[in-house]
Amino acid sequence: MKRIYQRHFLLNFLFLTIFIAIALPLTGCSSVPHRRIVRIGHNQSTNHPTHIALTAFQNYINEHLGDRYIVEVYPSELLGSQTDMVQLTQTGAIDYCIASNAILETFSKNYEIFNLPYLFASADSYHHAMDDPQITTPIFTATQKAGFTAVTWLDAGTRNFYTVNKPVKSPADLKGLKIRVQQSPTNIEMMRLLGGSATPMGFGDVYTALQSNIIDGAENNEMALTDNGHGDVCKYYSYDMHQMVPDILIANNAFIQSLSDEELAIFEEGYRRINQIQREEWVKAVDAARKKAAEQQKVQFLYPDQAPFVEACAPLHRSVLQNNPHIQPIYDAIQEYNALYPTITE
Ligand code: GCU
């Protein structure tokens, strides 16, 4: 089974690489042969704050370096799942992609830290920590040898459990439920500690898995209910607020190194804008998603006591820090932000 899966994965990857090498250069650029195409892949829809921010980046680069570069943004898993896209970015088949921090921990263990449940005491603490280069630089540069570097982060809100027909009011309610998690060992362990049965799979497969009862629920931010239609199937969304997992924009190293100092400065300003625009759009998008889920999809929002969830997940902090002592100083710096911004302000 594992071998068939690996073969399937390799064929998939090979197909995408060949498609990108042969087919994409033929699209849309024949009249401007001297401009370098810069490809960015992501897995969200074109309505999503991520796509809006990347489109602003595309326009910004066009405005300032349009004689040399054309940015092309590929949404909706057009270039494959996030794992596929990270591998394409590693090899330089594409130049950038957005990956959830969750899946990056398989490329560098340093990323485990942002996957820890209940790491941040509040959204303010999360935002301040993610904006602090002393916290992010050791993580964002940890994949140099793997061929890519993180250049900025994007908000992906707070992750909460949602289920087809059983409201989750405490960890005990997760017992016996198959819950989709992202493909990361930390997430699988989190689910084990909370008592549910972890079912890792790519984001694009979740809707069908929910609809065909392969899984009983999933965990994600509110946008998954509306933008990905999960709220058409799942009627209970419980604010246990177990994680704030950022999305990360990663870049192929060879591409970044090929930029002149002047070009690099423009691209870096572009990353700053992606972060800023995405975060502004995020606030509006989450408000709209909550409203739509409640009014149109008839999703019921629940507010369980978080304490038993926090307690069940505590051993994961200890085991991750024990297995990777390098991240202890980063963890400690995050605790300082937690002390400054202790209230959940979601
Ligand atoms: C969020 C996140 C994505 C991620 C998805 C998932 O939507 O923004 O980057 O892929 O969750 O659960 O897989």
pLDDT tens column, 191-227: 999 999 999 999 999 999 999 999 999 999 999 999 9
The residues lining ligand 1, judged by C-beta closer than 6 Å to any ligand atom, are: 43, 82, 100, 156, 182, 203, 220, 224, 247
152 in Cβ contact with 274 (< 8 Å): yes
pLDDT for the residue 1:
39
Backbone angles phi, psi at 95, to 5 degrees: -100, -30
> Which pTM does this prediction carry?
0.92
User: Quick check: 345 pLDDT over 80?
Assistant: no
Ligand 1 atom closest to 98 (CA)? 9
pLDDT for the residue 297:
98
Rounded to whole angstroms, how far apart are CA atoms 290 and 222?
6
Nearest alpha carbon, ligand 1 atom 5: 203
| Helices and strands (H, E) in the chain, number of each type | 13, 11
- 249 DSSP β-pair partners: 98, 152
Q: How many CB atoms lie within 10 A of CB 308?
A: 15
pLDDT for the residue 343:
79
> Which helix (H) or strand (E) covers residue 37, if one does?
strand 36-41
Rounded to whole angstroms, how far apart are CA atoms 124 and 113?
17
Tokens of 181: 């998690």
Nearest alpha carbon, ligand 1 atom 11: 220
pLDDT in tens, 155-169: 999 999 999 999 999
Ligand 1 atom closest to 219 (CA)? 12
